[in-house]
């Protein structure tokens, strides 16, 4: 399946409270999991995104859903804050990274191939479009914060990906 990006309009995102732009290509990709139940259908994934956005905006008091992009179990990439916008997902790295979160809890199980492929495709697309430096570094959230995210299984998976430190 080719890369399919579902726009905020298409998934019915609430508007951000405010937007802070990133001026140039960023140097890092930070991989997350949502630690919420998996979604299989587009309808389920959209419901999941809506509830995550509510928590981030209303409970956490953030401007918007924290991640730049979110990957669903339907193999689609959902636009979060999008490109060139500072995310709210990895404190010290927000202004210099693209945060991508895979819907689900990936501590014991690895996401499906469609999700892994979609994640790599949005990363490649970010480089092609000039939003991400071609010599970017890929990190799991746990490498930059005291947190278990993105889960043991997903973290082990991305250790084999290009641009992981030491690769
Ligand atoms: Zn995270």
CA–centroid distance, 165 to ligand 1, in Å, is 18
CA–centroid distance, 87 to ligand 1, in Å, is 12
Secondary element (H or E) of residue 135: strand 132-140
How high does pLDDT run on average in the chain? 96
CA–centroid distance, 100 to ligand 1, in Å, is 9
Flag whether the pTM goes above 0.95: yes
The pLDDT of residue 83 is above 80 = yes
| The pair of three-digit structure tokens given for residue 49, joined into one six-digit string | 């995104």
Read off the pLDDT of each residue in 151-155 and give the average, rounded to a whole number.
98
Kindly tell me the burial class for residue 119, based on how many C-beta atoms sit within 10 Å of its own C-beta (0-12, 13-18, 19 or more).
buried
CA–centroid distance, 93 to ligand 1, in Å, is 11
- Over residues 97-113, the pLDDT tens digits come to 999 999 999 999 999 99
CA–centroid distance, 71 to ligand 1, in Å, is 13
Read off the pLDDT of each residue in 83-106 and give the average, rounded to a whole number.
96
Domains and CATH numbers, the chain: 24-158 (3.40.80.10)
Read off the pLDDT of each residue in 55-72 and give the average, rounded to a whole number.
97
Residue 98 to residue 111: CA distance in whole angstroms: 19
Among candidate residues 83, 49, 51, 64, the one with its CA nearest the CA of residue 17: 64
Q: Looking at residue 166, what is its pLDDT?
A: 83
Kindly tell me the burial class for residue 150, based on how many C-beta atoms sit within 10 Å of its own C-beta (0-12, 13-18, 19 or more).
buried
The pLDDT of residue 147 is above 80 = yes
Read off the pLDDT of each residue in 111-139 and give the average, rounded to a whole number.
97
């Amino acid at each position: 399946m080719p890369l399919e990006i579902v726009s905020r309009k298409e998934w019915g995102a609430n508007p951000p409270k405010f937007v802070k732009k990133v001026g140039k290509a960023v140097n890092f990709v930070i991989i997350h999991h949502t630690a919420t139940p998996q979604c299989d259908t587009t309808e389920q994934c959209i419901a999941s995104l809506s509830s995550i956005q509510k928590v981030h905006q209303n409970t956490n008091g953030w401007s918007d859903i924290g991640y730049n992009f979110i990957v669903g179990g339907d193999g689609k990439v959902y636009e979060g804050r999008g490109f060139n916008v500072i995310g709210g997902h990895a404190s010290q790295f927000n202004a210099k990274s693209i945060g991508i979160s895979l819907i689900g809890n990936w501590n014991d199980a690895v996401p499906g191939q469609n999700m892994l492929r979609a994640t790599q495709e949005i990363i490649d697309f970010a480089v092609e479009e000039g939003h991400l430096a071609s010599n970017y570094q890929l990190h799991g959230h746990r490498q930059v914060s005291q947190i278990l995210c993105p889960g043991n299984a997903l973290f082990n998976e991305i250790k084999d990906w290009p641009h992981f430190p030491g690769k």
